[in-house]
C-alpha cells in the first residue's frame, strides 16, 4: 500500500494528477471504510493507469437538475457504483434524521436500466439499517408513480434509481422530499454534506430485512391508486363524450423502459384501446438494443423511425414515445402535407395548454408554470384566457413542483418544460408521461374525426396568436477537460458577449447568475435581476421589432453538455418571417461555436 501511495504522490509531482483528484484517490486507497475498493485502486496506481484513475475520480458526482447521475463504473467518486449509491442513500437518511425525521416511510423505485435492481436493493437496505420503514416496488416503475406514492402513502422521502434518457452506460439516484418533488435547497446541500462525511455505512441483509418487516414490497394496489389519480385529473370534455376513444388508432413505444406499466394502462382504462404497444421496443432492456443508436431519448427524432414506419404502414394516426422512466412524452403525427414529423416539447406544450385552457372557465388565481427556456407562446395563450403565466422558473421540474406547493394546487392549470416534461394534475409533484399521453389522446381523438392531426391544431394556434419557431443545440464535452470547456464558454459569453448572431443584433442579455440585465454591445449592467438564481444567459433582440429573437444558454444539469435554445416569435400573427430568422440564428450559432468551443 505504501508503494501505491508513493506512486500517487509521484504522479502529483509530475503534474499528471491534480492534487484535488489525488486526495479523492488517496481516500479510496487508505480509508478503512473503503477497504473493499483499495486493492483495485492500488492496482491502477501500480499499473500507472492515470487515464482510468482520472476517469474514476475527476469529480464528486454532484446533485444536479435530476439528482446524481453519471456513467456506471466499478469504483470511484466520478461514477455511479455501489459505494456512491450507498453514500447517496446514507446521506439522505442522515439529513432526514438531522431535520427531525428519526423514522417514517421511504419509497424506493427503479427503472429497467442495468444494475437498477442491485442499486435499489442497496438503497433499501441502507434506509432500513437507519431505522426507516422502506416501501420498495416489486418491479420496475415509472418515476411519477414514485412521486405519487410519496404523497399517497405519506412518506418522508423517496428515491428512484434511474438515469432517465441517458445512454445505457449511465444510471442515477433521484431523491424526493415529502411533498413528492425532487429535493431543493437547503435539503440538497444538507444531503451533499452528509454524503461527504460518509465513512462506515450501515446496511442489513435484504431478505432478512423483508422477513423482519423493515422492507415492504409494493404491488398492484398502488398502481391502481395511481391510475385512478391520473384519470381523475382529466379535464371535462363534453364534446368528446360522443366520440368513441377506441376509434383512435395509435402506437405507443416505451423505448424498452417502464412505460408499459403506467402510460398504456392509463390510456386503455380511458378507453383508448386502439393505441397499441409497439412490440419491438416493448421488452424492458437496459441496453436499449432495439432503440436507434441505443439512445432512448424521445427528444431525438431518430428514435421514432421504427415506430413511425410501422404506424404509417398500419394506418395509425399518431405515435407516442416515452423515455425509460416514463416521466417525459414525445409525439409524432402526419403534418398537413402527410409527412410524419416529431413535435418538439415546446410545440406539444402549446397544443396541450391550448386544450386545457379551452375546457373550462378558469377562476381568478389560476396559473400555469414553466421555465425560462420554454416557448414564450405559453404566456400569450395564458393571457388570452385570463390565466397567470409564471414563466420565469429555473430549468428542472423540481422548481415547478416547489412553485405549485408555494401557491397551492387549487389554481394549478398546467406545468411544463421544453424537454417534453408535462403535468396537468395535482396527484404528484413531477412531470408525468401518462397524464400527458391522456391529454394528447383527447386532442387527437377530436382531430381524427375531422381527418386532422396535432399539427393542424398547432397551425391554428399560430394563426391566432402568432408563430414561434425554435431550435435547440447541444455541445457535449466529457470529463474534466470537458467541464473546463463548458466553464470557459459560459465565461466568454458572460464577459465578452457577441453583439449579434446570424445577423440578429442583441439589445441586452439577462444574466441569472450575476442577477443583472446588461445592455449590449457595451455589456453594461443597467437593471437588477433579483430571481431566480441559476447559471443561465438569455440574449434578446430589440423587443419592439418583429420577430423577437432570443438565445438562451446554460450548462446541462444532467449531462456533460452546454445547451442553446433559440426562439423567433411574431409579435402579431403573420407580421414576420420567423422560419428564416430562426435558420439564420442557428447558422450564426454554429459559426460562433467554432471559436467558443475549441
Long-range contacts of 232-237 (CB under 8 A, 24+ apart): 232/425, 232/427, 233/424, 233/425, 233/426, 233/427, 233/435, 234/270, 234/435, 234/438, 234/439, 234/442, 235/355, 235/356, 235/359, 235/360, 235/424, 236/359, 236/360, 237/359, 237/442
What does the pLDDT average to over 513-527? 96
- Residue 392 has a pLDDT of 95
pLDDT over threshold 80, residue 514: yes
Q: What residue ranges of the chain are covered by domains with CATH 3.30.310?
A: 468-596
- Mean pLDDT over 119-141 rounds to 98
- At residue 585, the 3 state secondary structure works out as helix
What is the pLDDT confidence band of residue 183, given thresholds at 50, 70 and 90? very high
- Asked if the model's pLDDT at residue 26 lies above 90, the reply is yes
Cα–Cα distance for residue pair 304/291, rounded to 1 Å: 9
Based on its alpha-carbon atoms, the radius of gyration of the chain, rounded to whole angstroms, reads 25
pLDDT of residue 559: 74
Confidence of residue 126 (pLDDT cuts 50, 70, 90): very high
Largest interatomic CA distance in the chain: 79
Residue 66 is predicted with a pLDDT of: 64
241 or 446, which is more confident?
A: 446
What mean pLDDT value characterizes the chain? Answer: 95
Looking at 140-154, 332-346, 497-511, 553-567, which range is the least confident one?
A: 553-567
List helix spans (H) across 452-563.
Answer: 454-465, 479-495
Question: What confidence score (pLDDT) does residue 598 get?
Answer: 64
Whether 477 has a pLDDT exceeding 90, the answer reads no
Q: Name the CATH topology of 64-218.
A: Alpha-D-Glucose-1,6-Bisphosphate; Chain A, domain 3 (3.40.120)
The mean pLDDT of 14-22, rounded to a whole number, is 94
With 0-12 / 13-18 / 19 or more C-beta atoms within 10 angstroms meaning exposed / middle / buried, residue 480 is: middle
> Which residues lie below 8 Å from residue 488, measured CB to CB, with a gap of 6+?
none
Q: Are 56 and 75 contacting, i.e. CB atoms less than 8 angstroms apart? A: yes
Query: How far is residue 237's CA from residue 443's CA, in Å, rounded to a whole number?
Result: 10
pLDDT at 124: 98
**Sequence ranges of the chain with CATH classification 3.40.120.10:** 64-218, 226-236+243-465
pLDDT tens digits for range 38-97 = 999 999 999 999 999 999 999 998 876 667 999 999 999 999 999 999 999 999 999 999
Q: What is the pLDDT of residue 240?
A: 64
User: The C-alpha cell of 317 is what?
Assistant: 394516426
Closest CA to 338 of 317, 310, 319: 317
Q: Above 90 in pLDDT, residue 139? A: yes
* Bridge partners, residue 472, by sequence: 565
CATH of 468-596 among 3.90.1580, 1.20.1050, 1.20.950, 3.30.310: 3.30.310
Considering the four listed CATH numbers 3.40.120.10, 3.90.470.20, 3.40.50.300, 3.40.50.10190, the one that applies to the domain covering 226-236+243-465 is 3.40.120.10
User: Over the stretch 355-412, which tens digit does the pLDDT of each residue have?
Assistant: 999 988 899 999 999 999 999 999 999 999 999 999 999 999 999 999 999 999 999 9
Confidence of residue 239 (pLDDT cuts 50, 70, 90): low
Cβ contacts of residue 522 below 8 Å, gap of 6+? none
Average pLDDT over residues 486-511: 96
Amino acid at each position: 500500500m505504501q508503494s501505491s501511495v508513493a506512486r500517487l504522490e509521484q504522479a502529483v509531482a509530475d503534474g499528471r494528477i491534480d492534487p484535488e483528484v489525488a486526495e479523492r484517490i488517496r481516500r479510496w486507497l487508505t480509508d478503512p471504510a473503503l477497504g473493499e475498493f483499495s486493492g483495485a485502486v492500488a492496482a491502477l496506481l501500480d499499473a500507472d493507469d492515470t487515464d482510468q484513475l482520472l476517469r474514476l475520480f475527476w469529480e464528486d458526482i454532484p446533485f444536479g437538475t435530476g439528482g446524481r447521475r453519471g456513467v456506471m463504473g466499478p469504483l470511484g467518486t466520478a461514477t455511479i457504483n455501489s459505494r456512491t449509491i450507498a453514500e447517496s442513500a446514507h446521506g439522505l437518511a442522515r439529513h432526514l434524521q438531522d431535520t427531525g425525521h428519526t423514522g417514517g416511510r421511504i419509497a424506493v423505485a427503479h427503472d429497467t436500466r442495468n444494475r437498477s435492481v442491485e442499486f435499489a436493493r442497496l438503497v433499501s437496505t441502507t434506509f432500513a439499517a437507519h431505522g426507516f420503514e422502506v416501501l420498495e416496488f416489486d418491479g420496475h416503475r415509472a418515476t411519477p408513480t414514485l412521486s405519487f406514492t410519496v404523497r399517497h402513502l405519506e412518506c418522508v422521502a423517496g428515491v428512484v434509481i434511474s438515469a432517465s434518457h441517458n445512454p445505457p452506460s449511465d444510471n442515477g439516484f433521484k431523491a424526493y422530499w415529502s411533498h413528492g418533488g425532487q429535493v431543493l435547497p437547503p435539503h440538497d446541500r444538507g444531503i451533499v454534506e452528509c454524503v461527504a462525511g460518509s465513512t462506515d455505512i450501515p446496511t442489513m441483509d435484504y431478505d432478512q430485512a423483508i422477513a423482519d418487516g423493515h422492507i415492504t414490497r409494493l404491488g398492484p394496489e398502488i398502481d391502481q391508486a395511481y391510475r385512478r389519480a391520473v384519470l381523475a385529473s382529466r379535464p371535462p370534455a363534453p364534446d368528446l363524450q360522443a366520440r368513441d376513444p377506441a376509434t383512435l388508432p395509435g402506437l405507443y413505444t416505451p423505448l424498452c423502459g417502464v412505460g408499459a406499466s403506467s402510460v398504456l394502462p392509463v390510456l386503455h382504462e380511458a378507453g383508448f384501446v386502439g393505441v397499441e404497444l409497439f412490440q419491438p421496443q416493448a421488452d424492458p432492456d437496459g441496453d436499449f438494443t432495439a432503440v436507434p443508436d441505443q439512445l432512448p431519448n424521445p427528444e431525438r427524432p431518430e428514435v421514432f423511425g421504427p415506430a413511425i414506419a410501422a404506424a404509417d404502414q398500419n394506418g395509425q394516426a399518431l405515435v407516442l414515445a416515452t423515455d425509460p422512466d416514463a416521466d417525459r412524452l414525445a409525439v409524432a403525427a402526419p403534418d398537413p402535407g402527410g409527412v410524419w414529423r416529431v413535435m418538439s416539447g415546446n410545440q406539444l406544450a402549446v397544443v396541450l395548454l391550448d386544450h386545457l385552457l379551452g375546457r373550462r372557465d378558469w377562476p381568478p388565481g389560476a396559473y400555469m408554470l414553466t421555465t425560462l427556456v420554454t416557448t414564450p407562446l405559453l404566456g400569450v395563450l395564458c393571457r388570452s384566457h385570463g390565466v397567470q403565466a409564471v414563466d420565469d422558473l429555473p430549468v428542472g421540474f423540481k422548481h415547478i413542483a416547489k412553485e405549485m406547493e408555494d401557491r397551492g394546487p387549487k389554481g394549478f392549470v398546467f406545468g411544463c418544460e421544453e424537454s417534453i416534461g408535462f403535468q396537468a394534475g395535482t396527484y404528484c409533484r413531477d412531470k408525468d408521461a401518462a397524464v400527458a399521453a391522456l391529454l394528447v389522446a383527447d386532442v387527437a381523438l377530436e382531430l381524427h374525426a375531422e381527418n386532422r392531426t396535432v399539427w393542424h391544431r398547432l397551425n391554428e394556434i399560430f394563426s391566432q396568436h402568432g408563430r414561434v419557431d425554435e431550435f435547440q443545440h447541444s455541445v457535449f464535452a466529457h470529463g474534466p477537460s470537458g467541464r473546463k470547456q463548458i466553464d470557459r464558454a459560459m465565461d466568454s459569453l458572460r464577459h465578452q458577449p457577441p453583439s449579434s448572431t446570424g445577423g440578429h443584433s442583441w439589445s441586452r442579455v439577462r444574466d441569472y447568475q450575476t442577477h443583472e440585465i446588461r445592455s449590449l454591445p457595451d455589456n453594461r449592467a443597467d437593471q437588477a435581476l433579483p430571481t431566480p438564481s441559476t447559471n443561465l444567459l438569455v440574449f434578446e433582440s430589440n423587443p419592439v421589432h418583429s420577430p423577437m429573437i432570443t438565445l438562451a444558454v446554460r450548462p446541462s444539469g444532467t449531462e456533460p453538455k452546454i445547451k442553446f435554445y433559440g426562439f423567433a416569435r411574431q409579435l402579431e400573427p403573420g407580421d414576420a418571417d420567423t422560419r428564416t430568422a430562426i435558420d439564420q440564428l442557428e447558422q450564426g450559432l454554429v459559426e460562433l461555436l467554432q471559436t467558443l468551443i475549441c
